[in-house]
Amino acid sequence: MTDTELIPRDAELSTLPVGSVRMGTLGMSRIEEHVAWPLMARLAVRLEAGIPLPRFKVRDLLRLEIDQVIESESPDSEDVPLKVGQVQLGWSEFEVVEQQLAVRLTRLA
Protein backbone atom coordinates (compact mmCIF):
# COMPACT_ATOMS: atom_id res chain seq x y z
CA MET A 1 0.00 0.00 0.00
CA THR A 2 1.40 3.41 -0.92
CA ASP A 3 1.14 6.59 1.15
CA THR A 4 -1.50 7.98 -1.21
CA GLU A 5 -3.70 4.92 -0.61
CA LEU A 6 -3.78 5.56 3.14
CA ILE A 7 -6.16 8.50 2.77
CA PRO A 8 -9.40 7.87 0.89
CA ARG A 9 -9.84 10.12 -2.13
CA ASP A 10 -13.21 11.36 -0.88
CA ALA A 11 -11.95 12.16 2.64
CA GLU A 12 -12.78 15.60 3.94
CA LEU A 13 -9.45 16.61 5.47
CA SER A 14 -10.77 20.06 6.27
CA THR A 15 -13.14 18.50 8.84
CA LEU A 16 -10.28 17.03 10.89
CA PRO A 17 -9.43 18.89 14.13
CA VAL A 18 -6.39 21.14 13.95
CA GLY A 19 -3.91 21.24 16.83
CA SER A 20 -3.95 19.20 19.98
CA VAL A 21 -7.33 18.70 21.63
CA ARG A 22 -7.76 16.83 24.89
CA MET A 23 -10.23 13.99 24.53
CA GLY A 24 -12.13 14.99 27.67
CA THR A 25 -13.04 18.34 26.11
CA LEU A 26 -14.66 16.52 23.19
CA GLY A 27 -16.92 14.47 25.48
CA MET A 28 -15.26 11.11 24.82
CA SER A 29 -13.08 8.84 26.86
CA ARG A 30 -11.34 6.98 24.00
CA ILE A 31 -9.76 8.32 20.83
CA GLU A 32 -11.61 5.60 18.87
CA GLU A 33 -14.83 7.52 19.59
CA HIS A 34 -13.61 10.59 17.68
CA VAL A 35 -15.47 11.24 14.43
CA ALA A 36 -12.17 11.35 12.48
CA TRP A 37 -10.81 8.08 13.95
CA PRO A 38 -11.50 5.91 10.85
CA LEU A 39 -9.25 8.22 8.82
CA MET A 40 -6.64 8.88 11.52
CA ALA A 41 -6.26 5.16 12.31
CA ARG A 42 -5.08 4.55 8.75
CA LEU A 43 -2.37 7.23 8.69
CA ALA A 44 1.17 5.88 8.72
CA VAL A 45 3.51 7.70 11.11
CA ARG A 46 6.98 7.00 12.45
CA LEU A 47 7.16 6.86 16.24
CA GLU A 48 10.38 7.68 18.06
CA ALA A 49 11.20 6.59 21.60
CA GLY A 50 14.78 7.26 22.48
CA ILE A 51 17.20 7.84 25.30
CA PRO A 52 19.86 10.47 24.63
CA LEU A 53 23.44 9.17 24.71
CA PRO A 54 25.45 12.40 24.37
CA ARG A 55 28.90 10.78 24.45
CA PHE A 56 27.98 7.75 22.31
CA LYS A 57 29.90 7.85 19.01
CA VAL A 58 29.59 5.93 15.75
CA ARG A 59 32.76 4.04 16.66
CA ASP A 60 31.02 2.92 19.88
CA LEU A 61 28.13 1.62 17.80
CA LEU A 62 30.49 -0.29 15.51
CA ARG A 63 32.21 -1.89 18.52
CA LEU A 64 29.01 -3.14 20.15
CA GLU A 65 29.03 -6.79 21.13
CA ILE A 66 26.24 -9.22 21.93
CA ASP A 67 24.90 -8.75 25.49
CA GLN A 68 26.86 -5.52 25.96
CA VAL A 69 25.10 -2.95 28.15
CA ILE A 70 25.36 0.77 27.50
CA GLU A 71 24.85 3.15 30.40
CA SER A 72 22.84 6.33 29.87
CA GLU A 73 22.41 9.39 32.04
CA SER A 74 18.64 8.83 32.02
CA PRO A 75 17.34 7.34 35.29
CA ASP A 76 15.87 3.89 34.74
CA SER A 77 12.80 4.90 36.75
CA GLU A 78 11.99 7.73 34.31
CA ASP A 79 9.69 7.19 31.32
CA VAL A 80 10.99 7.86 27.80
CA PRO A 81 9.34 10.53 25.58
CA LEU A 82 7.36 9.08 22.64
CA LYS A 83 7.27 11.42 19.63
CA VAL A 84 6.01 11.71 16.09
CA GLY A 85 8.39 14.16 14.45
CA GLN A 86 8.69 17.10 16.85
CA VAL A 87 5.35 16.39 18.57
CA GLN A 88 5.45 14.50 21.85
CA LEU A 89 2.50 12.10 22.09
CA GLY A 90 3.27 10.70 25.50
CA TRP A 91 5.75 8.72 27.57
CA SER A 92 6.81 5.11 27.28
CA GLU A 93 9.05 2.45 28.76
CA PHE A 94 11.18 -0.24 27.17
CA GLU A 95 10.48 -3.88 27.86
CA VAL A 96 11.77 -7.20 26.57
CA VAL A 97 9.01 -9.45 25.21
CA GLU A 98 9.97 -12.89 23.86
CA GLN A 99 13.58 -11.78 23.20
CA GLN A 100 12.41 -8.64 21.36
CA LEU A 101 12.69 -5.05 22.57
CA ALA A 102 9.25 -3.47 22.89
CA VAL A 103 7.97 -0.01 23.82
CA ARG A 104 4.98 0.27 26.15
CA LEU A 105 2.95 3.51 26.19
CA THR A 106 2.63 4.56 29.84
CA ARG A 107 0.75 7.88 29.52
CA LEU A 108 -0.40 10.41 26.94
CA ALA A 109 0.93 13.96 26.69
Q: What is the pLDDT of residues 1-13, one digit of tens each?
A: 444 444 444 444 4
The answer to which of 11-15, 23-27, 41-45 has the lowest mean pLDDT is 11-15
Every domain of the chain with CATH number 2.30.330.10 lies at: 48-109
The 3-state secondary structure of the chain, one letter per residue: CCHHHCCCCCCCHHHCCCCCCCHHHHCCCCHHHCCCHHHHCCCCCCEEECCCCCCCCHHHHHCCCCCCCCCCCCCCCCCEEEEECCEEEEEEEEEEECCEEEEEEEEEC
Task: Report if pTM > 0.75.
Answer: no
Q: What is the pLDDT of residues 64-94, one digit of tens each?
A: 999 898 888 887 778 999 998 889 989 999 8
Confidence tier at 39 by pLDDT (50, 70, 90): confident
Mean of the per-residue pLDDT values of the chain: 76
Q: Which CATH number fits domain 48-109: 2.60.40.10, 2.30.330.10, 1.10.3720.10, 3.40.50.300?
A: 2.30.330.10
Confidence tier at 60 by pLDDT (50, 70, 90): very high
